[in-house]
Amino acid sequence: MENTYWNNAGKYQADYDRLLELMPSMGKCDTVAGELIRAASRLGYDFYNNGMGNNTSGACNFLEQAGAIDRNTARVIHEYTRGLTYSGHYDGDALQRSIESMVDQTIEFIFASPELLTKPNLVDMFEFSEDDQNWCDECGDELDGHYHSVCRHCEDAYYDEAEAEDAFYA
């Protein structure tokens, strides 16, 4: 994709740049609009810089609960916000389109309710964070609470194969 906020060519780039000025250098924003754009920029930054390698669930959940982004966009992004790393090629796949749409929707939401530009913000997007998740190195399924690198199914399959191999050579 060529027209992205990451390469300064987003749909509402000038508005996005102005809204970024609402963000302090650290911590939560003073206004609701600032916190909304902070959440959107955090998701975009993590996507383009880290392949969604950080826990950004709070940002996604905050935007969805505030009504800034639609459920379908949140669903696509949320899958990657708790430990599942993006392995695409930044060529306009569903996640990249959703990231760009999320920024568009957030900006549209702010300008549809201009009072958000001055409304005091009482929350930090990180208050909406969920626990990290771990993913199986073999099959990619979500791990079920234990902190190994493979799920129980893949682990069992490995031991079943090893037992069968031992029986063959016995």
Residue by residue, DSSP assigns 46-60 as HHHHHTT-S--HHHH
Report d(CA 160, CA 168) in Å as an integer: 12
Any residues with CB less than 8 A from the CB of 21 and at least 6 apart, and which? none
Q: What is the mean pLDDT of residues 75-90?
A: 91
What kind and span of H or E run contains 105?
A: helix 94-112
Nearest to 116 by CA among 36, 41, 59: 36
Report d(CA 62, CA 158) in Å as an integer: 40
pLDDT at 149: 67
> pLDDT per residue over 106-164, tens digit each?
999 999 999 999 999 999 999 999 987 666 767 767 666 555 567 777 777 766 665 66
Of residues 138 and 168, more confidence is placed in 138
